[in-house]
Structure 1
Amino acid sequence: MRTPTVLALPYPAQGHVNPMMTFSQKLVHNGCKVIFVNTDFNHRRVVSSMEEQQDSSSLDGEESVLKLVSIPDGFGPDDDRNDVGMLCEAIQKTMPEALEKLIEEIHVKGENRINFIVADLCMAWALDVGNKLGIKGAVLCPASAAIFTLVYSIPMLIDDGIIDSDLGLTLTTKKRIRISPSMPEMDPEDFFWLNMGVNGKKLLKYLLHYAPSLHLTQWWLCNTTHELEPETLLFLPKIIPIGPLLKSNDNDDNKSAATKSMGQFWKEDQSCMSWLDEQADGSVLYVAFGSITLFDQNQFNELALGLDLTNRPFLWVIREDNKMAYPHQFQGHKGKIVNWAPQQKVLSHPAIACFLTHCGWNSTMEGLSSGVPLLCWPYFGDQLYNKAHICDELKVGLGIDKDQNGVVSRGELKTKVEQIFNDENIKFRCVVLKEKVMKNIAKGGTSYENFKNFVKEIKE
């Protein structure tokens, strides 16, 4: 079998770049070459975070088989890349043409002819580019199979009158719906585009425009497993579970920190690991809200003072772009605060008792793979649906409730932390689910075999 060269294209956000990078490293370990395409802006962030991580300039020889390249995203230097609506519009105008040009340049140089494209579900237009150039492809969904199914079902939901046909943000029904008789009910208010204001409409329009591109491939890969979403995978058997996508060999000391954290926008602070080593097993509350969540000063104060009130050791990730000041009453003496953490390593540390999370799917998968109970505080997008799935279907977490002013109070936080620390049923279900989920990526497991079949296909 030959060594194929795969072009990997994530949607330009940390929660999409991460799983695509893990997937790419798995391809490399299985004898493929990968050209990983970020936007120019994110490429600079990734490279600079890797340079900060590494002691030597070497990338363990991985750079010869995993090459990082970039194309423009169509934004100006000062545009807000967290503005999803504007980002989708800019991507649509700029990136298909830029990707085609990049592929042609690579082919002219004749180093590695690209044999296959793996595009993020939100970048399905790349399959059209591949089709035009005679290159086959696959889509990879970094979210749940339910969200994949929801995206796939948007045209049907419009036909059924559940989403109004001019793609406004009004719902024609308040009732919970089932996309199929076999799937769990969904609250239409949890549809990921509805809690994003005007951006939601632009995102929906963008996804709808590229929905037909999905039919250019039979490879619909998804970072999930049968145990987590059996009914959804039954309804849309075309979705191929290959999760959990986890960084491999965290204990492989031959790999530099830079290679292990490849794809991160921020430098990981490894000092939290030695701090965790000093804490008692099952004593620490891990608090991290992903790469986009923003709090106002009042909510930030309540969170900080709530952590004090729990009177338990906590590890709190506060990104560098946080503009909030700590409240003057905040003691924080039981905790450690870092800008960015090696999350998978943190969650698998024996000191961690529970994970206070925004319920992004990557965080959810990493939490479930470590058998850690989840305290759910979603921010936007698919996180609201994920919270419902974690608490109501899987029963491995608790939701955190907001008061009448839309604020999570320090008292509510303290109450829920106590509740989850003392809930033996949730802890037991987490351990059972962890075993089931992890079996999938062990030799002979469903995800393992699905991935092997995929690699075999692209090598042939």
Structure 2
Amino acid sequence: FFFPAMARPHVLVIPYPAQGHVLPLMSLSRYLAKQGIQITFINTVFNHNRIINFLSKSSSHDYLGDQMKLVLIPDGLEDSPEERNIPGKLSESVLRFMPNKVEELIERMIGESTIISCVVADQSLGWAIEVAAKFEIRRAAFCPAAAASMVLGFSIQKLVDDGLIESDGTPKVNKTIQLSPGMPEMETNKFVWVSLKNKESQKNIFELVLQNNKSIESTDWLLCNSVYELETAAFGLYPQILPVGPIGWSQSLEDDESTSLGSFLPQDRDCLDWLDRYIPGSVIYVAFGSFGFMGKIQLEELAIGLELTKRYRIWT
């Protein structure tokens, strides 16, 4: 980032309220803080309390320092917390409740004579980019996943023009495609918005992707938690995407404890003694993220496949 000369740059960071989104942006925030940049990190009340609860039981709180401030706003699901585990429902609620709260926070900060140098928002929160633009604040959209996921979203109109999906995102054909030579193959019936089981959620998420695409056109930077060498084709297709990864668990800034900052739960280290019995690279790690959905048949097929590898494994 480049900021005009000033006493101390101040960055407002807004993650999507899920573990795989909060953690890398927290790591990026810590890195920026180490460069002398003041950070205000926004989180939902629910996730904020989980992080604070974890920090109270861990020495990780020492890594916040005076360069980072954690603030909280509601996500609108206080009366129906079970819906936080449903991606479509969570996104719908975030879109309804959070924009006004973030705008109020920025107004309050400006009223307190706080100069916000830049807003860094999760790429899926296009409304946050719009709010920053309203206040004429410089802005960066951050994608915590692979660049291929961003490219897929940016390629929607081409998918429609090529007759692969309807204008509402519904696949017209079940087909394996490549957005560009060298990029991973994708199945049209497994696009992120199609994979949701609820039709209404599919529609809402697809419309949200379209709106986000429009919103982030006004960003000063498009950042992605990836590495150029791993996704050369994707970055070649959209060179405006800047690789800044890897950021997250693998990024050790000072020691292992600091990498857990932003985690909703404490690390379970009970497996380390077991892992130490085996040579490096011999154990398979299996994980599906916060919102991983898998049917009974898929689960059984995966379990059988893992058994056939005859390799030791950790399944989380």
Q: Do Structure 1 and Structure 2 share a fold, with TM-score over 0.5?
A: yes
SS at structure 2 position matched to 1:179: coil
- Distance (whole Å) between structure 1 residues aligned to residue 195 and residue 127 of structure 2: 25
1:147 to 126, 129, 149: 149
SS at structure 1 position matched to 2:80: coil
2:38 to 33, 36, 41: 33
- Distance (whole Å) between structure 2 residues aligned to residue 120 and residue 4 of structure 1: 20
**Counterpart amino acid of 1:17?**
V
SS at structure 2 position matched to 1:407: helix
Q: What is the Cα deviation at residue 419 of structure 1?
A: 11
Is the Cα–Cα contact under 8 Å of residues 168 and 203 in structure 2 kept in the other structure?
no
Does residue 286 of structure 2 align to residue 281 of structure 1? no
Normalised by the length of structure 1, the TM-score is 0.60
Is the Cα–Cα contact under 8 Å of residues 182 and 231 in structure 1 kept in the other structure?
yes
SS at structure 2 position matched to 1:220: strand
1:43 corresponds to which residue? 48
Q: Alpha carbons of 1:411 and 1:248: their partners in 2 closer, same or farther (altered >3 Å)?
A: closer
Q: Please show how residues 69-218 of structure 1 align to structure 2 within 5 Å.
A: 69-79=71-81, 80-110=83-113, 112-167=114-169, 169=170, 171-180=171-180, 183-198=183-198, 199-218=201-220
Count of equivalent residues: 302
SS at structure 2 position matched to 1:37: strand
**Counterpart amino acid of 2:96?**
K
Q: Please show how residues 289-328 of structure 1 align to structure 2 within 5 Å.
A: 289-293=288-292
- Distance (whole Å) between structure 1 residues aligned to residue 174 and residue 31 of structure 2: 43
1:238 corresponds to which residue? 240
Q: Alpha carbons of 1:192 and 1:267: their partners in 2 closer, same or farther (altered >3 Å)?
A: same
SS at structure 1 position matched to 2:289: coil
Does residue 221 of structure 2 align to residue 219 of structure 1? yes
Q: Write the deviation string for residues 288-332 of structure 1: whole angstroms up to 9, x where unpaired.
A: 443333667x77xxxxxxxxxxxxxxxxxxxxxxxxxxxxxxxxx
Q: Alpha carbons of 1:155 and 1:284: their partners in 2 closer, same or farther (altered >3 Å)?
A: closer
- Distance (whole Å) between structure 1 residues aligned to residue 206 and residue 174 of structure 2: 19
SS at structure 2 position matched to 1:38: strand
- Distance (whole Å) between structure 2 residues aligned to residue 231 and residue 61 of structure 1: 37
SS at structure 2 position matched to 1:248: coil
- Distance (whole Å) between structure 2 residues aligned to residue 183 and residue 99 of structure 1: 36
Q: Alpha carbons of 1:247 and 1:226: their partners in 2 closer, same or farther (altered >3 Å)?
A: closer
Does residue 251 of structure 2 align to residue 247 of structure 1? yes
Q: Write the deviation string for residues 144-203 of structure 1: whole angstroms up to 9, x where unpaired.
A: 111101111223323443221234x3x112233333456454321231121112233221
Q: What is the Cα deviation at residue 250 of structure 1?
A: 5.1
2:11 corresponds to which residue? 6
Is the Cα–Cα contact under 8 Å of residues 50 and 261 in structure 1 kept in the other structure?
no
Normalised by the length of structure 2, the TM-score is 0.86
2:27 corresponds to which residue? 22
Q: Write the deviation string for residues 334-355 of structure 1: whole angstroms up to 9, x where unpaired.
A: xxxxxxxxxxxxxxxxxxxxxx
Larger radius of gyration: 1
1:416 to 305, 309, 312: 309
- Distance (whole Å) between structure 2 residues aligned to residue 234 and residue 213 of structure 1: 22
Aligned residues: CA RMSD: 2.6
SS at structure 2 position matched to 1:67: strand
Gaps of 5+ in 2: none
SS at structure 1 position matched to 2:206: helix
Which has the higher mean CA deviation after the structures are superposed, 410-419 or 17-26? Answer: 410-419
Q: Alpha carbons of 1:409 and 1:228: their partners in 2 closer, same or farther (altered >3 Å)?
A: closer
Q: What is the Cα deviation at residue 272 of structure 1?
A: 3.6
- Distance (whole Å) between structure 1 residues aligned to residue 160 and residue 303 of structure 2: 41
- Distance (whole Å) between structure 2 residues aligned to residue 288 and residue 180 of structure 1: 28
**Counterpart amino acid of 2:279?**
D
SS at structure 2 position matched to 1:195: coil
**Counterpart amino acid of 1:74?**
G
- Distance (whole Å) between structure 2 residues aligned to residue 260 and residue 176 of structure 1: 37
- Distance (whole Å) between structure 1 residues aligned to residue 303 and residue 116 of structure 2: 53
- Distance (whole Å) between structure 2 residues aligned to residue 419 and residue 188 of structure 1: 33
**Counterpart amino acid of 1:161?**
G
Is the Cα–Cα contact under 8 Å of residues 5 and 33 in structure 1 kept in the other structure?
yes
Is the Cα–Cα contact under 8 Å of residues 49 and 264 in structure 1 kept in the other structure?
yes
**Counterpart amino acid of 2:291?**
I
- Distance (whole Å) between structure 2 residues aligned to residue 239 and residue 147 of structure 1: 12
Q: Please show how residues 325-340 of structure 1 align to structure 2 within 5 Å.
A: none
**Counterpart amino acid of 2:212?**
Y
Q: Which has the higher contact order (CA 8 A, sep 6+)?
A: 2
Is the Cα–Cα contact under 8 Å of residues 123 and 212 in structure 2 kept in the other structure?
no
**Counterpart amino acid of 1:85?**
G
% identical aligned pairs: 37
